[in-house]
Structure 1
Amino acid sequence: MSDAAPVHVMANFTVHDAAKYRVYEKGFFPILKKHGGTFITFDDASTTFEGSHPPEGRVVLFKFPSAEAATAWYNDPDYQALSEHRRAGTELRFLTMLHGLPPRD
């Protein structure tokens, strides 16, 4: 997989302290944008067509131009400081980077 291929980041969590999570939400978008990220969508009631373990809570999906950009976003000290509010206000099940297909020639 090429590092130049776009990647998606998916998160699944349940909010248990809305006030703490709101602090995270307010600071999230400027840091996402700083690293070339694009918010795609979120869903608080996703539908699972198959499988025995549907995600509970909120599912969030966003995109970065490359794995390098996504990793830089996650490791950004500003993001890590902000994410303490997410950690305090949610139960995170996963925060996963999904690698995209490289461009075809």
Structure 2
Amino acid sequence: MAEKFSVKKGDKVVVLSGKDKGKSGEVLSVLRKDRRALVAGVNMVKRHTRQSQTEQGGIVEKESPIHLSNIALQDPKDGKATRVGFKTLEDGRKVRFAKRSGEVIDL
């Protein structure tokens, strides 16, 4: 059975530890096999790239994946880090909610 992760593509997250502690950004993709996520504007690294026919060479700055244990979902109410819970609504849908405020994340 596939493992459940509390973050999805498009979620707003806060970095809990590392060089970018306190920064927030949107999840661009989740690398399920490595338990890592690509977050916009977080964990930036410089890559020296060779010039090709289509791209200019030089130093390119891009995001590097960050481990899921180092990020937490951003609470929709106050923007602080929160844990994620799962509950079933009256209409039978299973949704994620912020444990900090009780606000439903998925609609």
Structures share a fold, TM > 0.5? no
Structure 1 or 2: more helix by fraction: 1
What TM-score range do you get, normalising by the shorter chain?
Answer: under 0.3
Give TM-score, length-normalised by structure 2: 0.23
**Structure with larger RCO (C-alpha < 8 A, sep 6+):** 1
Give TM-score, length-normalised by structure 1: 0.24
The structure number with the bigger radius of gyration is 2
